[in-house]
Each structure stands twice: as C-alpha cells, then as structure tokens.
C-alpha cells in the first residue's frame, strides 16, 4: 500500500475508534440454552458521524473495505466493481462475517436504464444432501452441533453472483478489482477490535478443532489480538487466481478439489460437497420484489431471501396508522410495530423458502389484499398476542420452520458517480461459518439455515433440506424509491433473523419520522419475531418495559447488534451512514 493509501486508512481507522467500556458478554458457546447465548458478541459502540457527498458514497463493515470500494470508484469503476473489491477485502478483514466461501444477494440499480436487477448468490445444498442430513442416532442434531464441520457447508455462491452482475454492469476489468485485497493479504491487515473480541470469547469451537483455522487465527497458541498484523498468503494466492482466471478458478480445478476435500474429510461432521456441486453451481438473476409503502416503492430480494416479502409485510402492517402521532420510542409505536413484525415473522416461518425450486410463486405473500387482511389484525387497543400464519396459498398446508440463526453477516451499500447503486448483503452464516478454512477463507455453514427438522407434527416444512435447494435467508438488501421513481434509500444489515426488523425499522425512521440516515441507524432498536419484544439495552426504548408488559408483551431488554450500512439520497446529495454497533464506516466524495 502506498503512502497516500496508508494515510487514508489511518483516517478511516480514526473514525472507527471504539470505546472499550461497551463490551458485552464473555460467555463461551458451550453455554447450553440458545436464548442464554443471545445477545452474542456486542463488541463496542463507535461514534459515527453522518457522511455527505455529491459524487459517490460507499458504506461497508470495515474501514479497509470502504477504502477499497472508494478507490475503485475513484478509478472510474461502477457500483458493482466497488462491491466486488469490497467483498474481496471483507474476506480478509472480516472473516467472521462474509467472504468468497459464502453467499450473497445483490440488488443493482442501473441509473441510466432506470432499472433494478437482483442477483441470487445463495448457497445450494449438495446433490447428495437430503432431508435427514442433520439427524444423528435417530435425533435431530442441536443447531450448535450441526454448525461445525463439513456437513453444514453449502456450495458458495457469492463469486458466481458477482461475476454475473459484473458481466452486466461492470466497467473496470474483473482482474483489477482484487488488487487491493491481494496486496493487503500479502502485507497483512490489522486485526480489528471486533475480530479480536470474537476470537477472545472463543465463539466458534471449530477454530480450535481445525488445523488450518487454528494456525491462522492464533499466534503463539493465543488467539490474535487487536492490532496484530496478520498476513494471509493463502488468500492472496486464491484471489490472484480468481482475478486472473475468473470465478472458474474457484469453481473448477485445484481450488474446487481443495474445498471439496476439506468438506468431505473434515474431522467433525464430514459433508458431501463434491467438485461436481461446485462446477454446477449457478447464480440466479431474479425479478425484484417491489411493493408500495405510502407513496414509496420498496424493493427487495425474492425468496429464498426473506427481504422482499417480510420487510414489506411489516411496513404494510403499519401503513394504515398515522405514525407521526406517536414518538418512535413510545409504547404506542412499539406496540403497533411489534404486532406488524409478529405477523410478518409468523408467515415467514411457514412460507419463505426456496420457492422457485418448489415451483411456488412468492407473489401471493405480498398481494395487497392479503397484506391488508393481515394488517387489519393489528390494533392499538388489543393486548399483544402471538400471531398465527395467514393463508396466502389456499391449497398449501405447511409445518413451521425451526431454523435458527445468530447474528453475523455484512452489508454493503454503494452509489457510484453515475448514480448506479448496490445493496448487497453477504454472509458465511454463523461467525466464522463452519469453522473450516481453505486457502485463507472460511467455508460457510449456510445449510443450517434450512429447517433442521424436515417436518413438524408430520406436516412437511417448506424450508426442509433437499438436494440442490437454497436455504431460506434473513438477508434483506433493500432499495426505496420516491413517488417519481427516484432512488432514495439503499439499506441492509446483518443480525440473523432480526435483519428483517432492523431494515424495516430503519426505513420507518427515515420515511415516517424524517430522520437523517445516521440517526435512523443509531435509533434504539426493537424486535419481535413473534416471540418476545426485545428492547435495546441502555437506550430510551428500554424504559418502555413496564408499559409494554401492561400491554401483554413478554419483554426482554438486551443488546440488539444491528450493522446497518445505508445511503440516503436527498436533494441531489448523498448521505452515508454506518452502524455504530459494529465497525463500519461510510465515505464518499
């Protein structure tokens, strides 16, 4: 990296200084109950400022990555070019969240054509996978046991999706997009506070168990500390191959063989992923899912992502209420919001899966008449009650999904100089994925996003494992357009199944409460996944506990670690926001 680059990086790192007092739990993953393990990995709160610019804006989860994206745009690259450079860099600097061993959903707004394209790079189950693959000795494995090792690894999709989007919208050569990540892998990157913290709390048992991961993440028998400069020669080699030979370098040949061998011969839970599975993987260009919320058009990703359906479901639930009558941190707003959210999550638990694979249209799920029927169940007067799924498909009887997710993942928002935009959410699923590492990158555990039980009380679950199928995802990359069709908001978040709520609440904060994007991101969080109402600890919203209990809510006050990276466009200006709950930074010019 040259001198100018170093200065830039120091500047960005300076923006992201962490307060050491804000560290949360230190429990090991060995802790038994699922809910006791939440919230995991709150690692600090940064003091982020709203960034504004006139030419372009980039917001991502790590300063190195934002810097790489910014540089690509400065060289004349498009939003997708920048997203690829960012993803390559995140593979190195944020290995706990995303990388080339994982999957992603990409929304691309082509400003000249005035058209939105969406690309599905979700992992697929190997051809040899079946509905009972998470069964052991006649019992369904615990989620925690199922995560570690080869069996949970889906065929990674992010590189094929980026390649497909680049062929359609790229401006710079593919080979140039990896330069910064290759250089940084070669000279080393500074371990961030969050990465160091996740290693220190020993969040993933596989990092001890698998030799390549253990030697990469440790130095002299201890997990890497914040500020340690870690080189990653394996990743430099893999990225060089991908830069020179395209995504085929990953999906065919020597690297594909290595990935397959690592999965099949894993010392814990070996899996079935073959070189043929890798060679046959295909990204899918899907139609975006768009609907209207008040005068705005909100567009997201079709299933297997939950984004397009469930974010809209929450918004539509609230549309008939004049939210401006209630403060965004009032018991009234939370009461309404949590009912809308419960309805959305009840439907999601039954109907969101790889619907294209199953030959089911997602359209009935967001049919305006159906949405209004669901919304009519929401009331200010009635106490909070658990929502039941609706009947969007008259002929479909399905069981409730029991997939479980903890909070990780990464979101990238970009607007380039031509006004093209990317909203991309990308993930290896659990922190550090399956714990297996190949050539310096983590392999995902995305197959645990399937329902580990194939049926519920004898009724089949739509999101059951099937060969070559994509697991349901919470990832919700979203774009919002005003009534004249102008792009207004690019938004997305990590956060496991809470992603949907984090995105919906941020949209409401902007559209209904007129907040600037940084304030909308920072605003105290609420979630209700048709279970309990979670209020963000240490915020004004936590004071609502007793008022909400009186309204029938089961309340938990806890950390809610969203990681929203968003851009708002207003009066020709670009405003970038990054979630202070994680390490991201927005920057533009």
- Positions touching ligand GLU (CB under 6 A) are 405-409, 427, 429, 446, 449, 473-475, 494-496, 499
Instruction: Rank residues 260 and 562 by Cβ distance to ligand GLU and give the closer one.
Output: 562
Task: State the minimum distance, in angstroms, from the CB of residue 427 to ligand GLU.
Answer: 5
Instruction: Rank residues 107 and 172 by Cβ distance to ligand GLU and give the closer one.
Output: 107
Task: State the minimum distance, in angstroms, from the CB of residue 348 to ligand GLU.
Answer: 11
| Nearest-angstrom CA–CA distance, 109 and 364 | 25
Instruction: Rank residues 78 and 152 by Cβ distance to ligand GLU and give the closer one.
Output: 152
Classify the C-alpha dihedral 432-442-240-109 as positive or negative.
negative
Residue nearest to ligand GLU according to CB distances in the complex: 409
Instruction: Rank residues 495 and 584 by Cβ distance to ligand GLU and give the closer one.
Output: 495
Residue 339, both tokens: 């009912």
Tell me which DSSP letter residue 232 carries: -
512: left (phi over 0), alpha (psi -120 to 50) or beta: alpha
Task: State the minimum distance, in angstroms, from the CB of residue 38 to ligand GLU.
Answer: 12
Tell me which DSSP letter residue 25 carries: -
Q: Determine phi and psi for 336, rounding to 5 degrees.
A: -70, -45
Task: State the minimum distance, in angstroms, from the CB of residue 119 to ligand GLU.
Answer: 15
Task: State the minimum distance, in angstroms, from the CB of residue 558 to ligand GLU.
Answer: 16
Tell me which DSSP letter residue 308 carries: I
| Nearest-angstrom CA–CA distance, 488 and 479 | 8
Instruction: Rank residues 275 and 446 by Cβ distance to ligand GLU and give the closer one.
Output: 446
Instruction: Rank residues 42 and 406 by Cβ distance to ligand GLU and give the closer one.
Output: 406
Residue 281, both tokens: 């993987």
Which DSSP helix (H) or strand (E) runs through 161?
helix 158-169
Task: State the minimum distance, in angstroms, from the CB of residue 103 to ligand GLU.
Answer: 7
Give the active site residues.
409
Q: 3-state DSSP call for residue 115?
A: strand
Task: State the minimum distance, in angstroms, from the CB of residue 425 to ligand GLU.
Answer: 8
Contacts of 169 (CB under 8 A, 6+ apart): 78, 79, 80, 108, 110, 117, 420
| Nearest-angstrom CA–CA distance, 384 and 325 | 20
Pairing of strands 533-536, 555-558: parallel
Tell me which DSSP letter residue 17 carries: P
| Nearest-angstrom CA–CA distance, 278 and 260 | 8
∠ Cα 21 25 31 (to 5°): 170
| Nearest-angstrom CA–CA distance, 465 and 132 | 8
Q: 3-state DSSP call for residue 434?
A: coil
Minimal CA–CA distance to 557: which of 525, 589, 512, 511? 525
Query: Is residue 250 exposed (0-12), middle (13-18) or buried (19+ Cβ within 10 Å)?
Result: buried
Task: State the minimum distance, in angstroms, from the CB of residue 100 to ligand GLU.
Answer: 16
* Contact between 122 and 106 (Cβ < 8 Å): no
Instruction: Rank residues 443 and 499 by Cβ distance to ligand GLU and give the closer one.
Output: 499
Instruction: Rank residues 96 and 533 by Cβ distance to ligand GLU and give the closer one.
Output: 96
């Amino acid at each position: 990296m040259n001198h100018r680059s170093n200065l830039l990086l120091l500047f960005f790192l300076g923006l992201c200084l962490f307060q050491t007092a804000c560290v949360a739990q230190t429990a090991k993953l060995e802790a038994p109950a699922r809910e006791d393990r939440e919230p995991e990995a709150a690692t600090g709160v940064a003091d982020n400022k709203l960034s504004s610019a006139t030419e372009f804006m980039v917001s991502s989860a790590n300063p190195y990555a934002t810097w790489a994206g910014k540089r690509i745009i400065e060289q004349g690259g498009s939003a997708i070019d920048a997203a690829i450079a960012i993803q390559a860099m995140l593979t190195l600097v944020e290995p706990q969240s995303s990388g080339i061993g994982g999957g992603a959903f990409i929304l691309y707004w082509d400003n000249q054509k005035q058209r939105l394209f969406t690309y599905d790079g979700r992992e697929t189950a190997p051809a040899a996978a079946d509905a009972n693959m998470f069964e052991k000795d006649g019992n369904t494995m615990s989620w925690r046991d199922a995560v570690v090792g080869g069996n949970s690894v889906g065929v990674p999709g992010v590189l094929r999706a980026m390649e497909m989007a680049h062929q359609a919208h790229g401006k710079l050569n593919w080979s140039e997009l990896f330069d910064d990540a290759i250089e940084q892998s070669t000279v080393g990157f500074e371990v961030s506070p969050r990465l160091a913290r996740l290693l220190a709390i020993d969040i993933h048992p596989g990092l001890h168990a698998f030799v390549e991961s253990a030697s990469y993440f440790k130095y002299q028998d201890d997990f890497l500390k914040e500020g340690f400069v870690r080189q990653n020669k394996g990743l430099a080699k893999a990225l060089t191959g991908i830069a020179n030979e395209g995504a085929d370098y990953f999906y065919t040949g020597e690297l594909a063989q290595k990935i397959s061998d690592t999965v099949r011969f894993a010392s814990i839970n070996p899996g079935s992923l073959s070189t043929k599975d890798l060679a046959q993987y295909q990204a899918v260009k899907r139609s975006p899912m768009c609907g209207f919320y008040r005068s705005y058009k909100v567009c997201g990703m079709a299933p297997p992502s939950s984004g397009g359906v469930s974010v809209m479901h929450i918004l539509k639930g609230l549309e008939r209420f004049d939210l401006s009558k209630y403060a965004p941190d009032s018991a009234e707003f939370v009461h309404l919001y949590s009912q809308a959210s419960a309805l959305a999550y009840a439907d999601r638990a039954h109907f969101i899966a790889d619907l294209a694979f199953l030959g089911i249209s997602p359209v009935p799920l967001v049919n305006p008449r159906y949405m209004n029927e669901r919304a009519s169940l929401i009331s200010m007067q009635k106490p909070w009650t658990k929502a039941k799924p609706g009947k969007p498909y008259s002929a479909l009887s399905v069981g409730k999904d029991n997939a479980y997710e903890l909070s990780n993942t990464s979101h990238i928002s970009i607007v380039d100089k031509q006004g093209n935009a990317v909203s991309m959410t990308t993930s290896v699923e659990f922190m550090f994925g399956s714990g297996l590492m190949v050539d310096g990158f983590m392999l995902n555990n995305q197959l645990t996003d399937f329902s580990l039980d194939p049926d519920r009380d004898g009724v089949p679950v739509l999101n059951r494992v099937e060969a070559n199928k994509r697991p349901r995802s919470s990832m919700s990359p979203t774009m919002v357009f005003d009534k004249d069709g102008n792009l207004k908001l690019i938004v997305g978040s990590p956060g496991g199944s809470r992603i949907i709520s984090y995105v919906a609440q941020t949209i409401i904060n902007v559209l209904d409460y007129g907040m600037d994007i940084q304030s909308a991101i920072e605003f105290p969080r609420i979630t209700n996944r048709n279970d309990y109402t979670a209020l963000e600890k240490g915020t004004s919203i936590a004071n609502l506990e007793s008022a909400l209990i009186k309204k029938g809510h089961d309340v938990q006050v806890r950390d809610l670690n969203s990681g929203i990276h968003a851009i708002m466009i207003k009066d020709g200006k670009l405003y970038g926001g990054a979630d202070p709950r994680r390490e991201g930074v927005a920057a533009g010019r």
